[in-house]
């Protein structure tokens, strides 16, 4: 028996003896998770800075803070989520009653990415715990400091019979995927998502895939351009653009393009100073490979601002590009870095057609105060989520399910959606033994058929 097989056998034994099912156990594990963050937040933030040069403020805002919000939400609603849900029972099945019971799936695998290495591992874990599962947690090897802290802390706070952290690179992930799980939750790129889904298919394992894509940001002349510029700039250059739902490109009314670009330049200076390289609030690219990839995309437009790089520190300045060809490489892959292409439109229908000609995005942003424009864009496009007059902030609301559509992913989580993702909705009908009318039993007669039609 391999080490992985032995680990999974232990987790399955813990699940089989009902260890994870009681409400009090689930609640206790969530409280322990909260204690882990409360008592070790400085170490977590330090690891995030080591991996991505995130400031403590950004680490709290985008990593530990949102997880604490999810924990508080789950603790407040867990008992309600676990409660069986009654549904109506038709006359043909009376006397009887019907209900739906949320049943834990078993042993699940959570594979996290490197860009938000704490948040995107622990938030799905909250759903897995709430639903009563055991879990194997695979942090990203590309964020080694955060991975190491999680591997040290999680066994110290959570039930080690139910939760295991497995560190390692691609070979480790391949080994894990070679085994059967009851659910796989993966966050990452579309290409790797296909590999995960292929591996899962060998065991008919259901998957949740949180992928990415090119999230458009449409801007028209009815919005407050100063507010739009600040919010777009903040959302795009958060984590140096390494955010799956960052605005990937702007589609702006051609009559206000220069004004919007000028205001975004002002916002960049206000946020990060004249030289963002010197700002403590501006992160770095995760590694040399991603640095080289993003730097190469700069050639696909005219640099309106930014453009400077420092290979030694993996620094790429917040960069706005104009005169971008829609057929260029930067417009045909997810950027995942601090480059923001600006394209223009003459009519809102042209903007909608541009979005619809491309794969469905993980998010869509619209800055407009026109009800007609809002109705047109939201009603005629498809995206995993959408946000009007802001960007990225939709992910901060636990009651809004977060997930993709089409190539941007499948399945959703956050709040109740996380609990449902890691649960099986088991349908149960309970009936009395009497009466037991002969209607449904052979022989079937014309009289029985008339009665059947009346019931149906």
| Residues with a known catalytic role | 210, 244
Rounded to whole angstroms, the Cα distance separating 32 from 38 reads 10
First CA to last CA across the chain, in angstroms?
55
Rounded to whole angstroms, the Cα distance separating 407 from 360 reads 7
What's the half-sphere exposure (Cβ side, CA atoms, 13 Å) at 305?
21
Secondary element (H or E) of residue 101: strand 96-104
Rounded to whole angstroms, the Cα distance separating 112 from 409 reads 14
Nearest to 216 by CA among 353, 98, 28, 56: 353
Rounded to whole angstroms, the Cα distance separating 113 from 146 reads 11
Instruction: Provide the token pair at 4.
Output: 């992985």
Q: Which residues pair with 412 in a beta bridge?
A: 403
SS3 79: helix
Neighbour tally for 369: CB within 10 Å: 13
Instruction: Provide the token pair at 180.
Output: 């059967």
3-state secondary structure 223-286: CCHHHHHHHHHHHHHHHHHCCCCCCCEEEEEHHHHHHHHHHHHHHHHHHHCCCHHHCCCCCCCC
Cis peptide before 95 (omega within 30 of 0): yes
Rounded to whole angstroms, the Cα distance separating 390 from 388 reads 6
Rounded to whole angstroms, the Cα distance separating 8 from 267 reads 50
Cis peptide before 435 (omega within 30 of 0): yes
Instruction: Provide the token pair at 64.
Output: 């530990």
Secondary element (H or E) of residue 364: strand 363-367
Rounded to whole angstroms, the Cα distance separating 442 from 439 reads 8
Which residues are within 8 A (CB) of 373 and not within 5 positions of it... i.e. 6 or more apart? 220, 222, 348, 366
Overall size of the chain counted in residues: 456
8 A C-beta contact, residue 268 and residue 304:
no
Instruction: Provide the token pair at 189.
Output: 């790129």
Rounded to whole angstroms, the Cα distance separating 391 from 340 reads 14
């Amino acid at each position: 028996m391999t080490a992985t097989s032995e680990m999974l056998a232990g987790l399955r034994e813990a699940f089989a003896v009902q260890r994870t099912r009681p409400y009090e156990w689930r609640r206790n594990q969530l409280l322990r998770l909260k204690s882990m963050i409360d008592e070790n937040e400085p170490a977590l933030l330090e690891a995030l800075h080591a991996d991505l040069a995130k400031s403590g403020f950004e680490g709290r805002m985008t990593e530990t803070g949102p997880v604490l919000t999810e924990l508080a939400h789950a603790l407040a609603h867990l008992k309600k989520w676990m409660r069986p849900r009654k549904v109506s029972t038709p006359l043909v099945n009376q006397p009887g009653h019907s209900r739906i019971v949320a049943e834990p799936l078993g042993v699940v695998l959570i594979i996290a990415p490197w860009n938000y290495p704490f948040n995107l591992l622990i938030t799905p874990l909250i759903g897995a715990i709430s639903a009563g599962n055991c879990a194997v947690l695979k942090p990203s090897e590309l964020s080694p400091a955060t991975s190491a802290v999680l591997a040290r802390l999680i066994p110290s706070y959570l039930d080690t019979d139910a939760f295991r952290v497995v560190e390692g690179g691609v070979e480790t992930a391949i080994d894990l995927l070679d085994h059967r799980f009851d659910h796989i939750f993966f966050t990452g790129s579309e290409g790797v998502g296909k590999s995960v889904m292929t591996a899962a298919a060998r065991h008919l394992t259901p998957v949740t895939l949180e992928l990415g894509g090119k999230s458009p940001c449409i801007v028209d002349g009815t919005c407050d351009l100063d507010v739009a510029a600040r919010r777009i700039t903040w959302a795009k250059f958060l984590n140096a653009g390494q955010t799956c739902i960052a605005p990937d490109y702007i589609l702006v009314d051609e009559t206000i393009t220069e004004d919007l670009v000028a205001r975004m330049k002002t916002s960049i200076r206000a946020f990060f100073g004249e030289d963002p390289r010197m700002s403590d609030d501006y992160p770095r690219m995760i590694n040399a490979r991603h640095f080289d990839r993003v730097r190469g995309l700069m050639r696909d437009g005219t640099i309106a601002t930014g453009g400077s790089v420092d290979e030694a520190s993996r620094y790429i300045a917040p960069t706005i590009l104009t005169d971008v060809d829609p057929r260029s490489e930067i417009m045909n892959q997810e950027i995942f870095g601090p480059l923001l292409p600006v394209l223009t439109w003459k009519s809102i229908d042209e903007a909608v057609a541009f979005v619809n000609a491309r794969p469905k995005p993980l998010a869509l942003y619209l800055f407009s105060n026109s009800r007609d424009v809002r109705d047109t864009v939201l009603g005629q496009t498809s995206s995993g989520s959408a946000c009007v007059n802001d960007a990225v902030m939709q992910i901060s609301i636990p009651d809004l399910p977060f997930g993709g559509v089409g190539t941007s992913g499948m399945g959703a989580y956050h709040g109740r959606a996380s609990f449902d993702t890691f649960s099986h909705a088991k349908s149960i009908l309970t009936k009395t033994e009497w009466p037991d009318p002969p209607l449904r039993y052979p022989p079937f007669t014309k009289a029985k058929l008339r009665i059947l039609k009346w019931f149906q």
